[in-house]
Amino acid sequence: MKRFKMAACHAAAGLVAACLGVAGLSATASAAGGLDLSGKTVEFVIPFSEKGGSAKWANFYAPLLSEALPGNPTVVVKYMPGAGSTKGANWFQQQKYEDGTVIFGSSGSTQFPYLLGDPRVKYEYGDWNVVLVSGTGGVAYLPPDIAKKFDGDADDLKDINFIWGSQGATRLDLVPMLAWEMLGMKVEAVFGIESRGNGRLMFERGEANIDYQTSAAYLKSVVPLVEQGKAVPMMSWGALDGEGNIVRDPTFPDMPTFKEVCEATKGCSTSGDAWEAWKAFFIAGFPAQKMIFLPNGAPDEAIATYTKAIDDILARPDFPKLSEARLGIYPQMTGKQAKVALKLGTDVPDGPKAYVKTWLKERFGVELKK
Amino acid sequence: MDLLSTALPALGEAFSLIFHPEQIMFLMLGVLLGLSVGVFPGLGGIAGLSMVLPFIYGMDPVSGLALMVGLVAVIPTSDTFASVLMGIPGSSASQATVLDGFPLAKKGEAARALSAAFAASLFGGLLGALILTFFILIARPLVLAFGLPEMLMITLLGLSMVAILAGRVALKGVAAAGLGLMVGTIGEAAAAGSLRMATYDIPYLIDGLKLVIVGLGIFAVPEIVALLRQDRPISRSGGLGAGWLDGVRDWASNLFLSFRCAIIGVIVGVIPGLGGSVVDWIAYGHTVQSTKDKRRFGSGDIRGVIGPESSNNAKEGGGLVPTLIFGIPGSGSMAVFIGGLALLGYDAGPQMIQSNLDLTYTIVWSLALANVFGAGLCIAFSTGIARLTTIRFSLLGPFLFMLISFAAFQSGQSLGDLVALFVIGLLGIFLRRFDWSRPAFLIGFVLSHQAENFSNMAHQVAGAKFRVSLESGFSYIASPIVLGILALTVLSVVIGIRQAKQILPEGEVPTGRKRAPFVFLLCVTGYLMIAWIDAMQIRMMSDKIFPVTVSSITLICCLLLLIRMMRAPETDIIFTDRAADTEDINAAHSLWGTLAWFAGLLVLSSLIGFVLALPLFLVSFLRIRAGLNWPRVLILSAAGIGFMIAMAGWLHRDFPPGLLQELVRLPWPLGDA
């Protein structure tokens, strides 16, 4: 059973990648009759507060959706923060499709508790209808003095006491933390920072000596530091290719990926439980990070209407320019590709899940149970 | 100077950008929106900005910025109305204004308090903008100089203000602050996620209590209930009192104080992560400390209004520094502001200052202009708004209950918000009755999260530094800034303890029988015991150490108080009890009866939803309690509900749903949309 799932996973990964190149071109939806939203208000609910990346992402899409949806409804972003985003997701689980005026934006922070079996999770991704998947990437970076010891493998970094600011072991930060551990680096996490931006400030102040940022934040805030010689990129987490393999991130083609560094480092292996676990959570946290859903029971015509609207947005001539500044250059997937990405990001085999749970418990004493 | 030669042309460019009629119009629009949101208690910059975000997209950047900055800049000016006239903090930035502003309104000097506040706000706002102009160019090293130990010290400096606000019995003040700190730890710990005084079975508690709810519960509910019991206008003299010019004159004669508090505002605003809710307390503490004659603080000293109001407008200027330079919001509203900037196509961060300096200065100019417009409009409108204090309170009270319930619900959108508001309100009523310092409690609550996080994190980083070498460890934890703030903290505690006895933050309160204060102390001790036992069972040291330490210290305070109570005679100030006050004894209505009305609204809301509960509540209150005739009852109720629905519709907000809404789906506003 487990093997079967893994095989499906790989095949699916291929499909995702197949769409990477054509994301902008796909204007597939032809059946967009039926749903007319004129005079209505669409509520784009996100399970987060006004701060942070999801709010930025939702506010980027809201006005574009308003223009692209039939009838040009008002699209308002509604914030429903609480319980690490599980509150909003639980609320959405209870919604039944009515007239297409409720959509939900989920993020990696919503997927991780779901994957880790958090007792607060009462939602099921399989019940929802995905209409958009937005991916991202991430980059780890070092201070210049330590970066001198890094030559493509982490062999010379094993004696350094690393320290970094983290938002929490069960958050997106799990992915870099696990990666550094696999490289045999001794990294102590200082938990409790409120945003990744604060983690970067700790790095800038010399309180932390390693950090990572997601792509948009890296481009915006770390690249200037790199130019001033205050930071050196170490590796990117990579992106997925046609075979479901991790390859160089198209946004950062000159940086080695974690996979390359792992292969070059003694004691780090790109097969086995640890690797599969890292890869599963990496996909959930980065290439399939943010998604828009219609609620349970949405009819095909509603899904088609939304898919067409989003395809129209993606096909706008000014979309690359608009999105590059705010979202980074990453695939925005709709239709079949979005479904495949959803499956990859939420349907993780039991083996890797169990591995991560054990690791969280042994390494940080974190247990998710009632 | 290289800096100056790039800054001056940009400043001029920004000046010409903002002084177009169209931009000025958007700025005015923002100011008007900010005024209307700020007057609404409990709603501040976050609600206001979130409201305009959907319209920002596609606007011309300068207009969009003018709109947003106009809105943010006037909220600390307009929130003064609620603080002074109703004793409810209009937003978290004007909590301290209530302490002296409200007593002034009760004395019939509302006009004086308001005009002094607006003058101080205007001055603070302008000074903030002025400092921001230069700060933008030099601030980067300064913000980087504030590491975790420095933040922790600032937090402790904030906590040291408890000393001066503690009241006549210092131990009670410390216990109140300790209780506030403990209430702040409720929920999931930030470090490793252990639950404290919460369970997964009550999801509401996991996120902890929100500042809006605690602020409304501790300050607004007790005041509203007390005023409802008296059943007469807020202002006993019946008029606004003269004094528009007096207030401005008061401000002018305290210009230096206003200047110092504005500087405090800017500095606290610049430090990211400290939050705007502390700044007014630090300014208030400073005002009291630096004044010779302290007797009238808490019962209507105009300086107690000037201090915080100078600082909270200046804070917005300071808050823009980390926001623009690092892309790190200095406060909640700044977080939304960053979102708005992104919609206009700009990313806050170092490169914004380098490549969009003219736009950055547009923000500064808008800030200054908005402060001028805001103060002017406030003065223009205030005669009308201030008339509220002359209305019989029974006609105002039910609408205030309506407003605060709605405001509380916005923080978590759960019925739990209403329950929490009631429970915290009850606590507030008792803190007020037995003269436990409510400001001390609130400071403890506000700083709890930061105190715990910064000490855990600073400890961890310091440990790593010490492992590298002793020298790097010491230079980390004992930087000049840390030592400087430490000295300030010690000074503030010493001055505070010495002088606290002269200050009555809540006015003179008589002593009563022994039993009631004793029982309340036992309840507090009981809660702390349970919290201590609960904390001892946490496995993760990082989540355990703070609540255990704080509850231990607070428990010791409580035990000392218990011992003192057993020994002291009934007339000792430790037995202060407002129930023995003549005003309380002669009140027209009982405490529990009044509270029952509020509880009734909440229980009804939980059954049939807020919007359906409101007409029942308003009509029966106005008819039975206030004794109005039917036409007036109906007109007032309809107006109140209409206003509420219009406001919520405009802000895209839902109302608290009840059991009925669970069972039947109703259209907005009866159910959720």
pLDDT at A5: 38
CA distance A141 to A158: 16
pLDDT at B82: 81
Contact B234, B83 (CB under 8 A): no
| Bridge partners of residue A333, in order along the sequence | A133
CB contact under 8 A, A191 and B540: no
pLDDT at B349: 65
| Chain B residues in contact with A83 (beta carbon < 8 A) | 203, 206-207
pLDDT at B497: 76
pLDDT at A79: 83
Residue of B nearest to A169 (CA): B192
Count the neighbouring beta carbons within 10 Å of the beta carbon of residue A3: 9
| Chain B residues in contact with A145 (beta carbon < 8 A) | none
Residue of A nearest to B187 (CA): A83
Range ranked top by mean pLDDT from B139-153, B232-246, B567-581? B567-581
CB contact under 8 A, B457 and A190: yes
Angstroms from A239 CA to nearest CA on chain B: 25
Nearest to A161 among B53, B336, B467 (CB): B467
Q: Is A232 helix (H, G, I), strand (E, B) or coil?
A: strand
Q: State the pLDDT confidence band at B449, using cuts at 50, 70 and 90.
A: confident
pLDDT at B423: 95
CB contact under 8 A, A50 and B147: no
| Chain A residues in contact with B46 (beta carbon < 8 A) | 50
Q: What interface predicted TM-score (ipTM) does this complex get? A: 0.78
The angle at the Cα of B618, spanning B659 to B79, to the nearest 5 degrees, equals 95
Could you tell me what percentage of chain B is helix, strand and coil, using 3-state DSSP and rounding each to the nearest 5?
A: 75, 0, 20
A56 touches chain B (CB under 8 A): yes
Angstroms from B381 CA to nearest CA on chain A: 31
Q: Is A44 helix (H, G, I), strand (E, B) or coil?
A: strand
| Chain B residues in contact with A366 (beta carbon < 8 A) | 192-193
Residue range B75-120, pLDDT digits in tens = 888 888 888 887 777 766 777 888 888 888 888 888 888 889 999 9
Nearest to B328 among A79, A198, A370 (CB): A198
Closest by CA to B363, choosing from B341, B378, B342, is B341
Angstroms from B92 CA to nearest CA on chain A: 17
By percentage, how much of chain A surpasses pLDDT 90? 46
Q: What is the average per-residue pLDDT within B284-307?
A: 85
Q: What is the average per-residue pLDDT within A90-106?
A: 91
Q: State the pLDDT confidence band at A8, using cuts at 50, 70 and 90.
A: very low
| Chain B residues in contact with A365 (beta carbon < 8 A) | 192, 539-540
| Chain A residues in contact with B350 (beta carbon < 8 A) | 221, 224
pLDDT at B503: 59
- Which residue type occupies B506? E
Structure tokens that stand for B296 in this block: 């009238």
| Chain B residues in contact with A74 (beta carbon < 8 A) | 54
Contact B18, B366 (CB under 8 A): yes
Q: Is B334 helix (H, G, I), strand (E, B) or coil?
A: helix
Beta strands A211-214 and A129-134 are unpaired
Q: What is the average per-residue pLDDT within B249-253?
A: 90
Contact B456, B150 (CB under 8 A): no
Tell which A residues from 242 to 281 touch B, by Cβ distance under 8 Å.
none
| Chain A residues in contact with B193 (beta carbon < 8 A) | 168, 170, 366
Angstroms from B225 CA to nearest CA on chain A: 31
H helix or E strand, kind and range, residue B450: helix B438-468
Residue range B487-511, pLDDT digits in tens = 988 887 887 777 666 655 555 677 7
B540 touches chain A (CB under 8 A): yes
In degrees rounded to 5, what are phi and psi of residue A192?
110, 0
pLDDT, greater one: B587 or B614:
B614
B206 touches chain A (CB under 8 A): yes
Residue range B190-209, pLDDT digits in tens = 877 788 988 878 878 888 89
CB contact under 8 A, A207 and B147: yes
Answer yes or no: is pLDDT of B599 > 90: yes
Tell the residue number behind the tokens 């039910």, with chain if given: B398
Nearest to A50 among B327, B339, B540 (CB): B339
CA distance B667 to B654: 11
Angstroms from B149 CA to nearest CA on chain A: 10
A59 touches chain B (CB under 8 A): yes
CA distance B76 to B308: 10
CA distance A293 to A306: 10
CB contact under 8 A, B328 and A101: no
Beta strands A290-294 and A102-106 are antiparallel
Nearest to B144 among A84, A205, A220 (CB): A205
Tell which A residues from 174 to 233 touch B, by Cβ distance under 8 Å.
188, 190-195, 197-198, 201-202, 204-208, 220-221, 224
Tell which B residues from 307 to 346 touch A, by Cβ distance under 8 Å.
326-329, 332, 335-336, 338-339, 342-343, 345
Q: State the pLDDT confidence band at A15, using cuts at 50, 70 and 90.
A: very low
Mean pLDDT of chain A: 84
Angstroms from A257 CA to nearest CA on chain B: 27
Nearest to B461 among A87, A207, A366 (CB): A207
pLDDT at A14: 40
| Chain B residues in contact with A170 (beta carbon < 8 A) | 193
Answer yes or no: is pLDDT of A285 > 50: yes
Angstroms from B638 CA to nearest CA on chain A: 26
Angstroms from A246 CA to nearest CA on chain B: 30
CB contact under 8 A, B673 and A101: yes
Which of A206-215, A349-358, B224-233 is predicted with the least confidence, judged by mean pLDDT?
A: B224-233
Residue range A31-76, pLDDT digits in tens = 345 688 888 889 999 998 776 678 878 888 998 999 999 999 989 8
Closest by CA to A110, choosing from A123, A127, A119, A100, is A123
Report in angstroms the alpha-carbon separations of B262 from B45, B70, B125, B269, B485.
19, 19, 8, 10, 18
Contact B457, A193 (CB under 8 A): yes
Answer yes or no: is pLDDT of B264 > 80: yes
By percentage, how much of chain B surpasses pLDDT 90? 21
H helix or E strand, kind and range, residue B488: helix B480-499
pLDDT at B651: 66
Contact A293, A306 (CB under 8 A): no
Burial B416-432 (b: 16+ CB within 10 A, else e): bbbebbbebbbbbbbbb
| Chain B residues in contact with A316 (beta carbon < 8 A) | none
In degrees rounded to 5, what are phi and psi of residue A265?
-95, 135
CB contact under 8 A, A120 and B200: yes
Which of A170-179, B173-182, B496-505, B660-669 is predicted with the least confidence, judged by mean pLDDT?
A: B496-505
Beta strands A138-142 and A161-166 are unpaired
| Chain B residues in contact with A103 (beta carbon < 8 A) | none
pLDDT at A18: 40
Answer yes or no: is pLDDT of A1 > 50: no
Answer yes or no: is pLDDT of A11 > 50: no
Answer yes or no: is pLDDT of B405 > 70: yes
pLDDT at B273: 54
Angstroms from A151 CA to nearest CA on chain B: 24
Answer yes or no: is pLDDT of B330 > 70: no
pLDDT at B3: 59
Residue range A212-258, pLDDT digits in tens = 998 878 887 899 899 999 999 999 999 877 566 788 998 899 999 99
Q: Is B548 helix (H, G, I), strand (E, B) or coil?
A: helix
Answer yes or no: is pLDDT of A25 > 80: no
Domains defined along chain A, listed by start: 2-135+287-351 (3.40.190.150), 138-284 (3.40.190.10)
| Chain B residues in contact with A163 (beta carbon < 8 A) | 460-461, 464
Strand order in the sheet with A290-294: A74-79, A41-46, A102-106, A290-294, A129-134, A332-333
Q: What is the average per-residue pLDDT within A274-300?
A: 91
Contact B278, B311 (CB under 8 A): no
| Chain B residues in contact with A43 (beta carbon < 8 A) | 652, 673
H helix or E strand, kind and range, residue A239: strand A239-240
CA distance B198 to B194: 9
Residue of B nearest to A119 (CA): B200
Q: State the pLDDT confidence band at A369, using cuts at 50, 70 and 90.
A: low
